[in-house]
């Protein structure tokens, strides 16, 4: 019995020894052999590297004005356990005083003191002091009592982030675009994201509570590299005029939306790209029609058809065609003109000028019905089957049927319908690129939005104009095309309202029925109105396209819905940039009426427009900003008090100018309506004290 007890004792002892050796071995393995791995894992539970977003680069207009910039903002927080008790008690009163006086005056000094003390007792290591603090406010807060000792002694935590700001608000907003979490990047922000985005940095942060990480110090371990800036070709003033003119047309015609694009003929530089559409009762930039909306263009495509016929040597401008009183049936489908033009056998020049669907369709059918490949090949030669290559995402490939391709539903109606702009789709920008090539003596340029990339204000890349096609057709065909486009304006054509004595325009109206082939027109036809052209016609500087989608009232043709927008844009470009014909008269024109007008804006622009119009006016303006008002039999240009410390008179000004003046004075602006400023809620001359002013537009 005694031996059995001894044996058991030895066994238990041996088990304890073995267990001890196992524990010791595991300790050596964990602490020595695998020590680095386990220490790193332990640290990772409480310390980690957190990425720091780089500041995004700016997007600028062609003259260097900021279109998009990053505004640094800070969340000011405090780790109340960092300062020692003595340091905390010595500074709490003065810190509470500064917080009450400069951060939130609605909270008393005593309330702040109680808050700080209570949160320290509760062990709060991430107390929010104030969010969305500007850089200047942050610098002031850093010098508050206690905080001026630095993060390691005071517990001050500054969480930096950036907010994208647009000084011109919604101007060109869809073209400029955005990059947002959970959404597809769009516009220039998306296309040039890698350029603008810069390189992330990193900072060592420590876990102080559940899901709360604070910087170990206020210095980044790896500093982020700021994004580069891009300089666009966009002209803010042309863009503003285009958007305002487009807005008026969409509102007047109760349209679904619209687009207007202005391109520099010789370079392909995009000077303006406006896109507006309805969302409920609002009209804003929600979709880039210019780049992404491919539709059947209608009559603007007739130019390509006529050029193909002429390039093939099949027609001359004096050839005549029987338009059968504006109605014809081809392959069982009826093609109609919008009206009976009163000419039985017009020349092809007249057919184009009055935009006869029948005349173009019958002529194309006559020459291409048995040789459709020839027609399609010419369209390919004009590069109408290719994308423009604009530096924006989302451009679709044009839809041009292959001859006799049954998979594309080719039929005997395809030639006559394609000839006047149906059974094919193009975006507005693709159509403009084609017209721009005609204006540019046959050289097709790639549309470009961005001119330069800057780093620390120095150009590191200049994007040169790119030629897509050196020559889309012969010189004879170009001369023929120019004559056709001028005939719509100068020879009593559909664009005759554009004819004026100051400068020449070449272009083409377009009206398409967008639901013609969709079977259900129970709610009536849906229209697309457009105008595409360039100016001055003899030596073009700019080309422009305007498209209005689904105009419902006050006219739906290209001449009534789209052409007035084109004219307003062209008039501004001519007036502001002195693109004037040499024969323009020098003498002033007296005012025949005393119009009830009031217009305000940048004084230099106002003087330019008044000189250009030839209207007699008296210049009494010596300030940067001016107002034009009638004075007996002339206009008077007088100055405003925009440069003083008083509320300026912005009545008659456009939204852009009014906002620029008021917001630069620190005045908050509330807007009612659209158009120019009709009324302002605070009288001119009132002392500026950071008020909110209400502007009624109309």
Q: Does residue 595 surpass a pLDDT of 50?
A: no
| Segment 6-26 mean pLDDT | 72
Residue 431's closest CA among 493, 474, 385?
385
Measured between alpha carbons, how far is 246 from 561 in angstroms, rounded to an integer?
A: 10
- Least reliable range by pLDDT among 119-123, 387-391, 618-622: 618-622
Task: For residue 671, give Cα distances in angstroms to 43, 251, 666, 679, 690.
Answer: 54, 18, 16, 11, 17
Q: Residue 399 pairs with which residues in a beta bridge?
A: 425
Measured between alpha carbons, how far is 432 from 532 in angstroms, rounded to an integer?
A: 7
| Segment 316-324 mean pLDDT | 95
| Segment 404-432 mean pLDDT | 96
pLDDT number for residue 26: 65
pLDDT number for residue 357: 97
pLDDT number for residue 470: 98
CA atoms within 13 A on the CB side of 106: 0
With beta carbons less than 8 A apart as the criterion, state whether 379 and 426 touch: no
Written as six digits, the tokens of 323 are 């338009």
Measured between alpha carbons, how far is 698 from 696 in angstroms, rounded to an integer?
A: 7
| Segment 551-568 mean pLDDT | 96
Strands (E), 596-675: 599-602, 617-620, 625-631, 634-639, 668-672
| Segment 57-75 mean pLDDT | 91
Q: Tens digit of pLDDT for each residue in 258-297?
A: 999 999 999 999 999 999 999 988 999 999 999 999 999 9
SS (H, E, C) 445-509: ECCECEEEEEECCEEEEECCCCEEECCCCCHHHHHHHHHHHHHHHHCCCCCHHHCCCCCCCEEEE
Measured between alpha carbons, how far is 26 from 9 in angstroms, rounded to an integer?
A: 26
Phi-psi group of 519: left, alpha or beta (phi > 0 → left; psi -120 to 50 → alpha; rest → beta): left
CB 311: neighbour CB atoms within 10 A?
A: 20
Domain 599-697 has CATH 3.30.10.20: yes
Q: Under DSSP, is residue 685 helix (H, G, I), strand (E, B) or coil?
A: coil
pLDDT number for residue 559: 95
pLDDT number for residue 199: 80
pTM of the model: 0.76
Q: Tens digit of pLDDT for each residue in 18-30?
A: 777 777 766 676 5
Task: For residue 256, give Cα distances in angstroms to 13, 286, 396, 556.
Answer: 91, 12, 21, 12
Q: Which CATH class is domain 50-57+70-176+203-227?
A: alpha beta
Measured between alpha carbons, how far is 305 from 421 in angstroms, rounded to an integer?
A: 9
pLDDT number for residue 167: 87
Comparing 95 with 169, which gets the higher pLDDT? 95
pLDDT number for residue 667: 84
pLDDT number for residue 631: 67
Q: Does residue 344 surpass a pLDDT of 90?
A: no
Q: Does residue 339 surpass a pLDDT of 90?
A: no
Task: Work out the percent of the chain whose per-residue pLDDT is above 90.
Answer: 59
Measured between alpha carbons, how far is 308 from 311 in angstroms, rounded to an integer?
A: 5
Written as six digits, the tokens of 152 are 């390691």
Measured between alpha carbons, how far is 579 from 262 in angstroms, rounded to an integer?
A: 15
Sign (positive or negative) of CA dihedral 112, 118, 120, 122:
negative
| Segment 534-556 mean pLDDT | 96
pLDDT number for residue 285: 93
Comparing 96 with 651, which gets the higher pLDDT? 96
Measured between alpha carbons, how far is 266 from 321 in angstroms, rounded to an integer?
A: 36
Q: Does residue 646 surpass a pLDDT of 60?
A: yes
43 — phi, psi (to 5°)? -60, -35
Q: Tens digit of pLDDT for each residue in 28-42?
A: 765 566 555 545 545
Residue 254's closest CA among 593, 564, 550?
550
Residue 540's closest CA among 511, 581, 508?
581
- Least reliable range by pLDDT among 167-181, 239-253, 635-649: 635-649
Question: For the chain, what are the domain ranges?
Answer: 2-45, 50-57+70-176+203-227, 236-577, 599-697
pLDDT number for residue 645: 77
Q: Does residue 546 surpass a pLDDT of 70?
A: yes
Written as six digits, the tokens of 617 are 């006016």
* Superfamily of domain covering 236-577: DD-peptidase/beta-lactamase superfamily (3.40.710.10)
pLDDT number for residue 217: 61
| Segment 58-86 mean pLDDT | 91
pLDDT number for residue 272: 98
Q: Does residue 494 surpass a pLDDT of 60?
A: yes
**Average pLDDT of every residue of the chain:** 86
> 599-697: same fold as 50-57+70-176+203-227?
no
């Amino acid at each position: 019995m005694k031996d059995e007890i001894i044996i058991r004792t030895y066994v238990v002892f041996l088990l304890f020894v073995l267990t001890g050796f196992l524990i010791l071995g595991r300790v050596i393995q964990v602490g020595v052999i695998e020590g680095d791995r386990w220490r790193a894992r332990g640290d990772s539970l409480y310390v980690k590297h957190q990425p720091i977003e780089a500041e995004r680069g700016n997007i600028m207009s062609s003259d260097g004005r900021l279109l998009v910039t990053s505004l640094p903002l800070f969340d000011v927080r405090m780790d109340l356990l960092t300062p020692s008790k003595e340091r905390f008690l010595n500074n709490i009163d003065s810190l509470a005083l500064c917080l009450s006086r400069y951060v939130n005056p609605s909270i008393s000094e005593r309330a702040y003191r109680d808050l700080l003390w209570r949160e320290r007792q509760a062990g709060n290591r991430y107390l929010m002091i104030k969010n969305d603090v500007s850089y200047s406010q942050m610098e002031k807060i850093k010098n508050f009592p206690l905080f001026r000792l630095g993060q390691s002694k005071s517990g001050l935590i500054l969480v930096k982030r950036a907010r994208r700001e647009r000084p011109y608000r919604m101007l060109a907003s869809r073209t400029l675009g955005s990059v947002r979490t959970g959404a597809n990047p769009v516009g220039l922000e998306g296309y040039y994201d890698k350029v603008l985005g810069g390189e992330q940095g990193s900072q060592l942060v420590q876990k102080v509570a559940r899901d709360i990480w604070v910087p170990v110090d206020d210095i980044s371990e790896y500093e982020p590299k700021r994004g580069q800036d891009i300089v666009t070709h966009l002209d803010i003033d042309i863009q503003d005029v285009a958007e305002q003119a487009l807005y008026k047309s969409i509102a007047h015609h109760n349209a679904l939306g619209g687009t207007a694009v202005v391109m520099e003929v010789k370079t392909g530089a995009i000077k303006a790209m406006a896109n507006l559409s309805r969302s409920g009762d609002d009209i804003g930039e929600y979709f880039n029609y210019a780049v992404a909306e491919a539709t059947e263009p209608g009559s603007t495509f007739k130019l390509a058809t006529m050029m193909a016929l002429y390039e093939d040597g099949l027609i001359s401008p004096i050839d005549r065609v029987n338009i059968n009183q504006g109605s014809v049936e081809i392959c069982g489908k009826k093609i109609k003109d919008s009206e009976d033009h009163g000419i039985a056998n017009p020349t092809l020049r007249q057919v184009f000028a009055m935009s006869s669907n029948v005349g173009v369709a019958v002529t194309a059918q006559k020459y291409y019905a048995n040789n459709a490949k020839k027609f399609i090949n010419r369209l390919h030669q004009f590069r109408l089957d290719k994308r423009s290559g604009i530096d924006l995402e989302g451009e679709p490939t044009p839809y041009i049927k292959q001859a006799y391709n049954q998979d594309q539903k080719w039929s005997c109606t395809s030639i006559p319908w394609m000839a006047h702009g149906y059974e094919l789709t193009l975006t507005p920008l693709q159509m403009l690129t084609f017209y721009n090539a005609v204006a540019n003596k046959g050289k097709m340029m790639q549309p470009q939005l961005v001119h330069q990339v800057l780093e620390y204000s120095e150009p590191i890349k200049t994007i040169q104009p790119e030629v897509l096609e050196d020559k889309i057709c012969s010189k004879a065909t170009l001369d023929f095309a120019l004559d056709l486009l001028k005939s719509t304006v100068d020879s009593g054509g559909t664009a005759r309202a554009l004819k004026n004595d100051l400068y020449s325009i070449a272009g083409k109206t377009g009206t398409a029925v967008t639901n013609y082939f969709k079977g259900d027109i129970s709610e009536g036809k849906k229209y697309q109105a457009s105008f595409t052209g360039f100016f001055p016609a003899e030596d073009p500087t700019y080309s422009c396209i305007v498209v209005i989608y689904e105009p419902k009232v006050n006219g739906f043709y290209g001449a009534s819905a789209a052409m007035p927008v084109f004219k307003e844009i062209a008039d501004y470009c001519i007036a502001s940039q002195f693109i004037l014909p040499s024969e323009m008269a020098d003498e002033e024109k007296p005012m025949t009426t005393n119009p009830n007008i009031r217009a305000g804006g940048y004084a230099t622009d106002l003087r330019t427009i008044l000189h250009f119009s030839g209207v007699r006016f008296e210049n009494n303006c010596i300030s940067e900003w001016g107002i034009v008002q009638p004075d007996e039999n002339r206009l008077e240009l007088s100055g405003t008090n925009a440069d003083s410390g008083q509320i300026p008179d912005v009545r008659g000004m456009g939204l852009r100018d009014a906002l620029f003046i008021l917001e630069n004075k620190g005045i908050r602006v509330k807007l009612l309506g659209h158009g120019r400023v009709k009324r302002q809620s605070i009288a001119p001359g009132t002392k500026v004290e950071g008020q909110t002013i209400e502007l009624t537009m109309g």
